A and B are shown apart, each in its own frame.
Chain A
Amino acid sequence: MTDESALPLVIDGLRKSYRTRGSQRLVAVDGIDLQVQRGECLGLLGPNGSGKSTTIQCVSGFYPADDGRVVLFGHDVAREPKQARRWLGVCQQEDSLDTDFSARNQLIRHARYFGISHRDAATKADELLRRLDLAGKAGKLVEHLSGGMRRRLQVARALVSSPRLLILDEPTTGLDPDIRRGLWRILAEERAKGTAVLLSTHYMDEAERLCDRIALMHEGRILDLAPPRELVARHAGTEEIEEEVRPGLLWKRPPNLEDVFLRLTGRQLD
């Protein structure tokens, strides 16, 4: 039996439904089980509406689960939210930067919510601004930052409390390739320190590149959970796939996670 207190994340039978218009309920997450090990990057891969973001909201404790439990470092997030979230860093899908503060000040302020002293918070904020190429924008309000800078600042905010579990909900959506690669580098550095990562994405290249294991999600369920190559080999085989990229032009390529998803669900990832 695994010692839960040693694991960054244990999800056990998580179920979550919403009220929709009228009296209908939509099951967004339907009884999923997951574990994330120290230093591991686990990807949640699936199209919009597959339950990735709801899972993340439940893991962060913002949404209560209907059933099942989420345990962070041995603490149930519903029963002991303060202890559970002490080592959690969350980069939300939506831009939730505090428009009333400069880049540096909002990092410091966010760290203070974790009980970190002002001096330590300032040191960490300066370090993160340097690492994410935002040092020149430290004193700028969010409204003066570009979309890519804002996204990097949101990642910096998730890291300012030195989390041991980092949750990233679609962190690179809409970003330029060079900024995406920059964020991938930061993630690699954090993982090298032992930080676990729960990454939600619908970019298969990002999932393949960053994740040790991938949970393929569809309609609130995990279809399969395995390392990317194993998923591809298991469901799409190893033979090259021939597809028509333009009328009359055939192209052979190795199978990928898109093919896996298509085989399992009959639909594309995006």
Chain B
Amino acid sequence: MPPSSRPLALNPRDIFRVWLRYFAVFRKSLLYGVTVTVTQPLLFLLAFGFGLASLIPGVDYRGVELGYREFVFAGIIAQALLLQGYFEGAFGSFVRMYYQRVFQSVAVTPVTLREVLWAELLWDASRASFSALVIAGIGSALGILDPWSWLRLVPVVVVGGLTFSALGVLSAAFARTIEELNYPQYFLVFPMFVFCGIFYPIANLPVWIQPVVQLLPLAGLADLVRSITLGLPFQWGSLTVLLVWFVVLVPAAHRAMTRRLVK
């Protein structure tokens, strides 16, 4: 049996065809799409990277003295991946699954449901990665981050984008109504956003909570982004944390969404 005919085999061309459907929708309202993708991280960048940074002289991060602007700039790249990936994965996939029934109509063509769901995750991650790389490019252009560090960042951004997109799709698979997506948003996404070392070092938190926070995917991602964009020692432990979440969340999202759709 040729590889593409095995039910478990994925055909990249078919995945790309579905990804193009998402891109075509994005392209139709390009200005809106680009605006919502980059505005929110840019606002954070202005508020914290330039506004608050002028009040904070420096930050002790893993024993290295960093300017607050450098510190928070790298963190905002990570949080852009969280928010863009999660919201597109959660709300976007819920709309496509529940209201538009895109998954159901495509998965009766030669494109399989697994491929449709991979296209969904890749699209969600694409938007998140685009947003993060725009911020990284601005940081590099302004001389705040290492020049060309945004290029070295690509693999981490893709893994981070897929991880948070998978978290979104997983949430959508369990949500009975679109309002129920607020539960993971308030109890998981926002706590990660405020506690995972984006705006201040995790070492500033109470000692008892630090190990818990370090195990969350955003903390690992923020550490990795800082090590790459600021030329700090590579954080292998953070990479492990992120990869474990990636390996758990991506199949879990696939399985949960498949169970939601297929009786």
Q: Please list the residues of chain A having a beta carbon within 8 angstroms of any beta carbon in chain B.
A: 16, 18-19, 28, 54, 57, 60-64, 78-83, 85-86, 88, 90, 92, 94-101, 109-110, 112-115, 157, 161
Contacts and interface: CB of A to CB of B under 8 A. Distances in A.
A113 B113 CA distance: 12
B109 A110 contact: yes
A82 B112 contact: yes
Interface string B1-36: 100111100010010011011001100100000000
Interface residues of B, number: 31
A100 B28 contact: yes
A79 B7 contact: yes
A98 B17 contact: no
Interface residue SS majority, chain B = helix
A113 B25 contact: no
A90 B108 contact: yes
Given A81-B110, A92-B105, 19 more contacts: A18-B263, A61-B108, A63-B262, A79-B7, A80-B7, A82-B5, A82-B11, A82-B112, A83-B5, A92-B104, A96-B105, A100-B24, A100-B100, A101-B24, A110-B105, A113-B14, A113-B106, A113-B111, A115-B110
A60 B112 CA distance: 11
Contact of A62 (B6, B24, B100, B262): B262
B102 interface: yes
A96 B7 contact: no
Task: Report which residue of A54, A95, A112 has the largest number of chain B beta carbons within 10 angstroms of its beta carbon.
Answer: A112
Interface in B84-118: 99-102, 104-113
Interface residue SS majority, chain A = loop
Nearest to B106: A113
A57 B107 CA distance: 11
Contacts of B108: 60-62, 85, 88, 90, 92
Nearest to B101: A96
A100 B101 contact: no
A86 B110 contact: yes
A230 B134 CA distance: 70
Contact of B110 (A54, A99, A113, A157): A113
Contacts of A110: 105, 109
A113 B18 contact: yes
Contacts of A82: 4-5, 11, 14, 110, 112
